Amino acid sequence: MSIPESINYTIMKTFAIETLGCKVNQYETQQIRQLLEEQGLELVTTDDRPELLVINTCCVTHTASAKSRQAIRRARKLNPTAALFVSGCLASVPNNSLLNNELAGLGRDLHLIGHQDNLADKLIQLIAQQKTARSRLSAPQLSKKPISIKAINTPKIKDKNDPRAQPTLGLLRCFKGQTRAFLKIQDGCDGACSYCIIPHVRPNIRSKPIELVLKEAETLVQAGHKEIVLTGIFIGAYGQNTVKRKNWSQSQPNQLAQLLLKIADVPGLSRIRLSSLEPGDVTDELLDAYARCSNLTPHLHLPLQSGSERILARMQRQYTVAQFTRAVAKIKHSLDRPAITTDIIVGFPGETDADFAQSLAIAKDIGFAKMHVFRFSQRAGTAAAKMQPVVPSKVIKERSMILHNLDKQLQARFRSQFIGEKITVIIERQNPPSGRSKRYFEVEVNSAQPLKKGQLVCGILADNACQIHSFAEKESPNPTCS
């Protein structure tokens, strides 16, 4: 490795991480953070000019990709002498000439590390290389040839059971900075949703063995986390080797439901939440687990994406509107006033006023507790990027605003059911103290005495502004990781 003589290198002691994207990315950032701390580095902010910067990128949408590239440029501008490691989904996009060309002008000591690499080993290797290179700074023979930017490649994995396809970063001991800990139980997707790039960047399907999930959950609870969110790219496929339901064995028991029954017995775990499911995941076995385990939160996130059968078919989703509504009906029949949250994409190619009206109608009929509204944008490398006709951006913006306004109304209506009832809250923020209820809506706690992050309190929901005016501590706080 050649080092430019004009830069004053020091031994690598500090690092900073910037994360973009979903819960899976946030979990993996914590794994990277833990690994680097084990290597003797100290986590600092980007303003502290660390020797190592890690940008964990996202590329699920065109906007996410743009924000990731912007974060990389900003990091290099703020700290031109730091080693810069770019990981995550954007770094894993095949033949990403746009990213490579853009990064080529950002100087030396820049590395792309994709999902297909042995990430832990490569990080350790690169840290060792940096230390070695810096120790040679005083050597008389230094090449002035610029360092090339290149991805670190490993042999292609053909067998999904190949040991190289297994996670190499360690189990988390603590989810720093958050009261709710995310725990990744599954990775990879080989689906065919026409708008999604993820099968191209995370194609290898794998599930974390139950015994490791339980061990990690126990450790996180011991660190002070009272709520754990189980997450993954397609957690409904936990225990499967594909996300395509048509290829699943009908005789195989529901492994996600089995996992929930076991993790619910972890001592001290007050809440278990699932990040996202699909209608086909709402089985009798799953709902039986919810009925049997009081620490499974009555909150299920089911992405609808569109209320139009025609648009769903163009999206190549694995369900129909009818199947979606039946799944919601089963949940409402089994659970007490569950929170059903969802994702909806507006402006998908070919979406007419009639299609959008169908999305509005089903949202009102179901009464979602919260809707995440996404404006469609073309994502290079997906089938939807070439679909016609394209919905004008002005129309997309108008439809998005209509759904956002409806979302506010539906959230207020859902919360109003619980006014006057006792609810529990895990304090996530202070000044004023606030957190989420079991059914996911946020609550402010009006308390005469100070409350700490991670504290589990209960009280009466006083009004639709989501305030608890009285509370009683249920468990002693243990804010080790806050």
Query: CATH number of the domain that 398 lies in?
Result: 3.30.750.200
Point out which residues pair with 14 in neighbouring strands.
Answer: 42
Residue 274 and residue 325 in one domain? no
The pLDDT assigned to 252 comes to: 83
Give 147's pLDDT tier (boundaries 50, 70, 90): very low
| Portion of the chain with pLDDT greater than 70, in percent | 84
DSSP 105: T
For residue 266, being part of any structural domain is answered with yes
* Closest to 256 measured CA to CA, from 228, 234, 223, 226: 234
For residue 9, being part of any structural domain is answered with no
- What is the full DSSP assignment across 315-327? HT-SS-HHHHHHH
Residue 176 and residue 287 in one domain? yes
For residue 8, being part of any structural domain is answered with no
Residue type, 306: S
Element (H, E) at 467: strand 467-468
The pLDDT assigned to 386 comes to: 95
The pLDDT assigned to 105 comes to: 67
| pLDDT at residue 132 tops 70 | no
Burial pattern 468-478, b for ≥16 Cβ within 10 A else e, equals beebeeeeebb
| pLDDT at residue 82 tops 70 | yes
Spell out where 38-139 has E strands. 42-43, 52-57, 83-88, 110-112
Query: For 53-75, how does the pLDDT look when each residue is reduced to its tens digit (9 = 90+)?
Result: 999 999 988 889 899 999 998 98
Give 163's pLDDT tier (boundaries 50, 70, 90): very low
443, 417 contact by CB (below 8 A): no
Which range among 16-25, 323-332, 443-452 shows the weakest confidence by mean pLDDT? 443-452
Tell me what the mean pLDDT of segment 237-266 comes to.
94
The pLDDT assigned to 464 comes to: 59
Residue 247 and residue 364 in one domain? no
| pLDDT at residue 96 tops 90 | no
The pLDDT assigned to 133 comes to: 58
The pLDDT assigned to 149 comes to: 34
Give 468's pLDDT tier (boundaries 50, 70, 90): low
Residue 112 and residue 217 in one domain? no
For residue 141, being part of any structural domain is answered with no
For residue 143, being part of any structural domain is answered with no
Residue 147 or residue 361, greater confidence: 361
The pLDDT assigned to 474 comes to: 47
Give 214's pLDDT tier (boundaries 50, 70, 90): very high
Domain edge (last residue) among 256, 277, 297:
297
Residue 43 and residue 128 in one domain? yes
Give 137's pLDDT tier (boundaries 50, 70, 90): very low
Give 11's pLDDT tier (boundaries 50, 70, 90): low
Residue 26 and residue 119 in one domain? yes
Query: CATH number of the domain that 273 lies in?
Result: 3.30.750.210
The pLDDT assigned to 159 comes to: 45
The pLDDT assigned to 280 comes to: 95
The pLDDT assigned to 116 comes to: 61
Residue 394 and residue 432 in one domain? no
Residue 293 and residue 306 in one domain? no
Give how many domains the chain has, as a whole number: 4
Residue 149 or residue 207, greater confidence: 207
| pLDDT at residue 140 tops 70 | no
Residue 321 and residue 232 in one domain? no
For residue 150, being part of any structural domain is answered with no
Residue 228 and residue 175 in one domain? yes
| pLDDT at residue 478 tops 60 | no
| pLDDT at residue 394 tops 50 | yes
The pLDDT assigned to 467 comes to: 62
Residue 9 or residue 333, greater confidence: 333
Give 450's pLDDT tier (boundaries 50, 70, 90): confident
Query: CATH number of the domain that 114 lies in?
Result: 3.40.50.12160
Residue 81 and residue 182 in one domain? no
In terms of DSSP bridges, do strands 110-112 and 206-207 run parallel, antiparallel, or are they unpaired?
unpaired
Residue range(s) defining the domain that contains residue 342 = 300-417
| pLDDT at residue 167 tops 60 | no
The pLDDT assigned to 275 comes to: 96
The pLDDT assigned to 99 comes to: 75
351 phi and psi, to 5 degrees? Answer: -70, 120
For residue 152, being part of any structural domain is answered with no
Which range among 41-45, 66-70, 137-141, 346-350 shows the weakest confidence by mean pLDDT? 137-141
* Closest to 426 measured CA to CA, from 459, 462, 454: 454
Which range among 80-89, 160-169, 312-321 shows the weakest confidence by mean pLDDT? 160-169
| Portion of the chain with pLDDT greater than 90, in percent | 63
Averaged pLDDT of the chain: 85
Distances (CA, A) of 306 to 236, 317, 322, 395, 397: 20, 10, 12, 16, 16
Residue 428 or residue 163, greater confidence: 428
Extract the tokens encoding 138.
Answer: 């005083």
Tell me what the mean pLDDT of segment 295-311 comes to.
98
**Percentages (nearest 5) of helix, strand, coil residues in the chain:** 35, 20, 45
Tell me what the mean pLDDT of segment 117-126 comes to.
76
Three-state DSSP class for 104? coil
Domain edge (last residue) among 261, 277, 297:
297
Domain edge (last residue) among 260, 275, 297:
297
For residue 3, being part of any structural domain is answered with no
- What is the full DSSP assignment across 118-179? -HHHHHHHHHHHHHHHHHTTT-S----PPPPP-B---PPP--TTSGGGS--SPPPS--TT-S
The pLDDT assigned to 188 comes to: 95
Residue 258 and residue 374 in one domain? no
Give 12's pLDDT tier (boundaries 50, 70, 90): confident
